[in-house]
Structures are given as structure tokens and as C-alpha cells.
């Protein structure tokens, strides 16, 4: 039985899946299985997974019996996994070589149920940008999640298999923020989720890959707030401000509307000026960017903020 079961939902990922699997093969800790759950790809994704599996029997391909990444993750983790720990990875992200070894050591503390680390964002190759996520010092809380989710991506979380089973898995009916909804339920049920300030995951970004449907994202957050309320938690003014700062930055990157970044900035400042502006390195540039967006041409806005 492997120590880690890595769950990779896949759909038309022929451009990136080989590189993702290579980053798993490069792990210094080798006791793992990778379950690639294909969601009906029409490109070469299944062929590339089978090719990788011929070279590394720890890799296996299964076909999703449902539809969508939530169903794929549930199937992989609840039906196929045999490891003590479940680690999720998307088919276009990469892991640093020491990630699993570091996490193995962290999970020796039996009080810890789940772990996430620092993310580096990249476009073409790891290290081509200098943008990294911020890892909080305290254990993950529901109010943190209702601000700006510090886990950022499912590629950045590992947890004990029994803890995932008790969480009930992901809600396949949700299109946006299904990971946020699941994390709220995970923490609300009492799981201890800790962050480590060590680079563990490379997250692939591109202007075309960013979600531009901010209204749908807000609707997903409304659902997440309803989930939080079932655990007796309502978002603080600070978390509202942090979330609108996040949406303002999203609007700056997608460059679809001149007014949207400033609208979210004003909403955030109205909820909590300190929540929006602090830390200064995040809040102040977002505010100035939202103001500048009113004057800059769309092409220049996108190149500056993407």
C-alpha cells in the first residue's frame, strides 16, 4: 500500500500532462501512486498517461464515471485510492521535487489532518515570474477562507484519507468555488489544516486561463458563505475586504472592464480599510491599479496586470 495517493483529474490536458507526471516522477520520496482520472478527453491525454504508466507502474489511468473535476476527484480519492494520505494535483501544475518528503515529515505529527504550502506562479516555465502565495502563520480558519483562500489551488493540499472520507468529498453540482466549499466543510468539521512557508507547488497561469466571470465567482462565494453559516460562522468585515481586493486584482488581470477593479476596491475599503490595504504590498498597488485602470487602454492594462 503506497504512502501517498495522488489524484489527478484530467480533461484534454495533452499540452501539460507529461510535464506534470514528470514532476511526480522527480519526487525524492518515492512511495506513491498517481491516479489519473480522465474526464472524457478527446485529445491525446489518455495515450500520454498510458505511455507514462508503461515507464512507471505507479501511474494508472481510470475513467470518470461522473462528469467534471469534482466527480473525478471524488472517484479517485473515495474509490481508487489506497494510500494513507491523499494529495491532489491538477493536470497542468507541477510539484517541487522535495514536496512529498517534506510532507511525510510533517504528517508525523498526528494532530495535523491536512497540509498546504507556498505556491509559485508561472506562465511558461517555473521561475519565469516572481509571484508567490502567502502562507498564514495560524491554522486555516473558515474566516480566512472567506477572505482569500490561502490554499489557492487543489494542487496544493494533502490530507489523511479518512479525513477526506468524513468530509463527504466535493459537491459536483458546484461550478465555481467547489474547492472553497469543500475546505469550509473540512475545517468546519474540525480538521486541523496547517500551512508551511515552503515552496511546494508551481501553478500555471495565463491571461486566457483566468476566470473572467466575476459574477459567477461572487455567486460561488455566496454559496460558500451559506456553507460557513451551517457551522455558525459569518464572514468578518476584514474577510469581505480581502475578498473584494482579490476580485479587484482579478478584474485588473482580465482587463474586461475599466470600472470593475475600482468598484471592488471601493466595496473592500467600505467593509474594512485596513483589511483591504494591509499588507501594504498587496493593498496599495491594487488600489492604485484600480484607479489607473480608468485611464489606461485595455491592451496596456492587461499587459501590466496579467
Tens digits of residue pLDDT in 192-227: 999 999 999 999 986 544 444 677 777 778 889 999
Q: Is the pLDDT assigned to residue 69 strictly greater than 80?
A: yes
Q: Look-up: residue for cell 497561469?
A: 205
Whether 168 is covered by a domain: the verdict is yes
* CB 214, CB 250: distance < 8 Å: yes
User: 186: which 3 cell numbers?
Assistant: 473540512
Whether 196 is covered by a domain: the verdict is yes
Whether 215 is covered by a domain: the verdict is no
Domains in the chain, number: 2
Question: What mean pLDDT is predicted for residues 1-30?
Answer: 97
Q: Is residue 57 located within the same domain as residue 16?
A: yes
User: According to the model, what pLDDT value does residue 283 have?
Assistant: 95
Q: Is residue 166 located within the same domain as residue 84?
A: yes
Q: Is residue 89 located within the same domain as residue 169?
A: yes
Question: What mean pLDDT is predicted for residues 247-255?
Answer: 84
Whether 74 is covered by a domain: the verdict is yes
Residue-number span of the structural domain to which 129 is assigned: 4-209
Q: Is the pLDDT assigned to residue 306 strictly greater than 90?
A: no
| Burial environment of residue 9 by CB neighbours within 10 A (0 to 12, 13 to 18, 19 or more) | buried
Distance in angstroms (rounded) separating the CA atoms of residues 183 and 154: 10
Tens digits of residue pLDDT in 149-158: 999 999 999 9
* CB 253, CB 305: distance < 8 Å: yes
User: According to the model, what pLDDT value does residue 211 have?
Assistant: 46
Whether 162 is covered by a domain: the verdict is yes
Tens digits of residue pLDDT in 101-111: 999 999 999 99
Q: Is residue 38 located within the same domain as residue 151?
A: yes
User: According to the model, what pLDDT value does residue 264 have?
Assistant: 94
Q: Is residue 152 located within the same domain as residue 265?
A: no
Q: Is residue 123 located within the same domain as residue 248?
A: no
CA proximity to 135, closest of 114, 150, 121: 150
Whether 96 is covered by a domain: the verdict is yes
Amino acid at each position: 500500500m503506497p504512502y501517498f495517493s495522488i489524484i489527478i483529474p484530467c480533461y484534454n490536458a495533452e499540452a501539460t500532462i507529461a510535464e506534470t507526471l514528470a514532476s511526480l516522477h522527480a519526487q525524492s520520496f518515492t512511495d506513491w501512486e498517481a491516479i489519473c482520472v480522465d474526464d472524457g478527453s478527446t485529445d491525446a491525454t489518455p495515450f500520454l498517461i498510458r505511455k507514462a504508466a508503461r515507464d512507471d507502474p505507479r501511474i494508472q489511468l481510470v475513467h470518470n464515471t461522473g462528469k467534471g473535476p469534482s466527480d473525478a476527484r471524488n472517484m479517485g480519492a473515495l474509490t481508487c485510492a489506497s494510500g494513507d494520505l491523499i494529495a491532489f494535483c491538477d493536470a497542468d501544475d507541477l510539484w517541487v521535487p522535495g514536496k512529498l518528503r517534506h510532507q511525510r515529515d510533517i504528517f508525523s505529527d498526528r494532530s495535523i489532518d491536512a497540509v498546504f504550502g507556498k505556491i509559485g506562479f508561472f506562465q511558461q516555465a517555473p521561475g519565469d515570474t516572481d509571484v508567490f502565495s502567502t502562507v498564514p502563520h495560524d491554522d486555516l480558519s473558515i474566516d480566512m477562507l472567506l477572505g482569500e483562500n490561502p490554499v489557492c489551488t487543489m494542487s496544493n493540499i494533502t490530507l489523511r484519507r479518512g479525513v477526506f472520507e468524513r468530509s463527504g468529498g466535493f459537491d459536483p453540482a458546484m461550478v465555481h468555488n467547489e474547492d472553497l466549499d469543500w475546505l469550509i466543510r473540512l475545517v468546519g468539521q474540525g480538521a486541523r489544516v496547517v500551512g508551511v512557508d515552503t515552496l511546494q507547488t508551481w501553478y500555471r497561469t495565463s491571461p486566457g486561463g483566468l476566470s473572467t466571470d466575476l459574477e459567477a465567482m461572487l455567486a460561488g462565494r455566496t454559496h460558500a458563505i451559506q456553507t460557513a453559516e451551517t457551522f455558525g460562522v459569518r464572514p468578518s468585515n476584514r474577510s469581505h475586504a480581502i475578498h473584494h481586493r482579490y476580485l479587484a486584482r482579478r478584474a485588473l488581470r482580465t482587463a474586461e472592464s475599466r470600472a470593475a477593479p475600482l468598484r471592488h476596491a471601493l466595496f473592500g475599503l467600505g467593509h474594512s480599510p485596513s483589511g483591504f490595504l494591509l499588507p501594504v504590498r498587496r493593498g496599495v498597488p491594487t488600489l492604485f491599479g484600480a484607479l489607473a485602470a480608468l485611464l489606461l487602454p485595455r491592451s496596456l492594462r492587461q499587459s501590466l496586470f496579467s
